[in-house]
Amino acid sequence: MSSLRSQCHACAIGIVSAAFAVLAGCALIAPPAPTTPMTPTAADAQFAGISKRYLDEMLELTPVAATALGDHRHDAALDDVSAAGYGRRVALARELLASLRALDPTQLSRAHQVDARLLTSELEYQIWRVEQLREWRWNPLIYTELAGNSVYLLMARDFAPLPQRLHDVGERLSELPRLLAQVREVLDPARVPRIHAETAVKQNTGVLTLIDQLVVPQLGVLPEDERGRLKTAIGRARTAVTQHQLWLEKRLLPEAKGDFRLGAELYDPKLRFALDSPLSREQIRARAQSELTRTRADMYAIARAILPGRPNPPPLPATPSPDEQQAAIVAALELAYEQQPPRDQVFEAARHAFEQAQSFVRTADLVTLYDDPLEIIQMPEFQRGVALAYPRTGPTRRCGHTCANTTRARSTI
């Protein structure tokens, strides 16, 4: 049975590797001109100023994103999600984009050429998302994520003394009624897809769960006056979330008539921005289909190796029909499913699997692994419904530990 697990694991790695191969193949961007200055130039200094302005001013406009990135200068602030707030982001993006386009890329160092191209693409994407995709008008999940992260990101890491983080939580909670009121103002219920509305209804109260689990138990570390202010902010936040829940259930959900499909006019540019690739979706699909065909052939080969001798095996011809291939793959996966842990042992199994993977990578000397601790934790309520697992740490954070959020699921094919 351990052999079966190893083979199925190898096949799973193959699927992931195939996916990465497809995505890697998407990035066929022509590189900048090879002629680059050997020493820093005036253009390099200008670009450094532009990038600094982006990090300073754009993150000030999106403080929760700043916290996620590990920049804690704005931890006591909460985003302005009004139409005017989005307008300020676009105006800044246009200014920075104009400054970037005024630079001569051949006068930039090679590193700055790459960074300038990445920043240009990101600024164009930000403008397009606000002005063309206009997701801020029809996707309530943007705001359940924002509200939840405004608390979670401050309490899930010990990047600063606990009293300071609790103070910042209180400041953000005091702004939560304003944020939720802005959400109700900017969302157009008729454009919201019903699945988005249903998920928002389920996620909205997750911020209250965070408060009860992460904030309330820590109130005792604060002096009495600060504890009182935080309790007041929590009370107002509870009222605001309850009011917003009623709006979600009584107004948004009944009126949600939008189509979750973007359509080619929006999907194609979003795909280009997301993958930073000139390949069309048809080309990407063709590559993905080729990898899928290869991977399923590998899965069938494993099935042919492990199913003979098992009770009631499906037909296993050398050249199977699509239905025969599918039946064999399903039968092999069912054997693997028998080894899945009980629900109350999922996290222990995930920790054990991580330790095994870590040991294998180090033994094989595949890549350098650092000793930063990793904690596998349960997916916060406000993030459930659209993801299975992912790491949570900011790229600019230099302290604390990394958490991998996970939830229980059974894979299908």
Domain boundary residue, one of 311, 337, 363: 337
Q: Which amino acid is at 2?
A: S
Q: Which domain holds residue 123?
A: 30-133
What is the rounded distance in angstroms from the CA atom of residue 269 to the CA atom of residue 275? Answer: 10
Q: Does a structural domain hold residue 226?
A: no
Q: Which spans in 309-369 are helix H?
A: 322-337, 346-364
How does pLDDT run across 313-367, given as a tens digit for each residue? 999 999 999 999 999 999 999 998 888 888 888 888 888 888 899 999 999 999 9
Q: Does a structural domain hold residue 11?
A: yes
- Higher pLDDT: 397 or 295? It is 295
Examine the pLDDT at 263 and tell me if it is beyond 50: yes
Residues 355 and 388 occupy one common structural domain: yes
How does pLDDT run across 11-36, given as a tens digit for each residue? 443 443 444 444 444 444 455 555 56
Q: Does a structural domain hold residue 237?
A: no
Q: Which residues of 24-55 are buried (b: 16+ CB within 10 A; e: fewer)?
A: eebeeeeebeeebeeeebebbebbeebbeebe
What is the rounded distance in angstroms from the CA atom of residue 97 to the CA atom of residue 90? Answer: 10
Residues 307 and 351 occupy one common structural domain: no
The pLDDT > 70 percentage for the chain reads 83
Q: Does a structural domain hold residue 41?
A: yes
Query: What are the tokens at 277?
Result: 């690739």
What is the rounded distance in angstroms from the CA atom of residue 122 to the CA atom of residue 337? Answer: 41
Domain boundary residue, one of 117, 133, 149: 133
- Are 122 and 130 a contacting pair, CB within 8 Å? no
The Cα-based distances of 211 to 97, 120, 215, 269 in angstroms read 39, 38, 5, 39
Q: Number of folded domains in the chain?
A: 3
Q: Does a structural domain hold residue 256?
A: no
Looking at residues 378-401, what average pLDDT do you find?
A: 55
Beta carbons within 8 Å of 119's beta carbon, 6+ residues apart: 50, 51, 54, 96, 100
Residues 41 and 97 occupy one common structural domain: yes
Q: Does a structural domain hold residue 378?
A: yes
Q: Does a structural domain hold residue 368?
A: yes
Residues 46 and 122 occupy one common structural domain: yes
How does pLDDT run across 82-110, given as a tens digit for each residue? 999 999 999 999 999 999 999 999 999 99
Q: Does a structural domain hold residue 18?
A: yes
What is the rounded distance in angstroms from the CA atom of residue 314 to the CA atom of residue 284? Answer: 33
- Report phi then psi at 148, rounded to 5: -65, -45
Domain boundary residue, one of 133, 167, 190: 133
Examine the pLDDT at 6 and tell me if it is beyond 50: no
